[in-house]
Amino acid sequence: MFDLRGGRLVETEQITYDHQAPGAGVSFSSTTGVLVVTGQLEDKSPHCCPDAVVVITLKWDGTLFQVSNVKKQTINAESY
């Protein structure tokens, strides 16, 4: 996220995630202001074939994104 301050573009928020897991990615609806980030869950499973991803749903409140939901989603072994 960026903001204009004093005529300069300033980074205000940055979201990073591990995108190697099946189903990982980002989606944003400008209509609803909902941002969904899906990334590899940091658990004890091997990095090559994680057991789950974490799905974080954020809602734009006009100033910044607020977390509205976090859930763990199991990955089916057939996804690899």
Cβ–Cβ < 8 Å for 44, 38: no
Q: Which domain covers residue 55, as residue numbers?
A: 18-79
Residues 65 and 69: their CA atoms lie apart, in Å, by 12
- Residue 45 placed within a domain: yes
Total structural domains in the chain? 1
CA 68 to CA 34: how far, in whole Å? 9
The predicted-structure confidence for 11-50, as pLDDT tens digits, reads as follows 877 777 777 888 889 999 999 999 999 998 877 888 788 8
Does some domain include residue 7?
no
Which SS3 state, helix, strand or coil, does residue 78 take? helix
Q: Flag whether pLDDT at 79 surpasses 80.
A: no
3-state helix, strand, coil in the chain (%, to 5): 5, 50, 50
Q: Which of 46, 56, 57, 59 is nearest to 20 (CA)?
A: 46
In a domain, 8, yes or no: no
> Does any domain span residue 12?
no
Q: Please report whether residue 71 resides in a domain.
A: yes
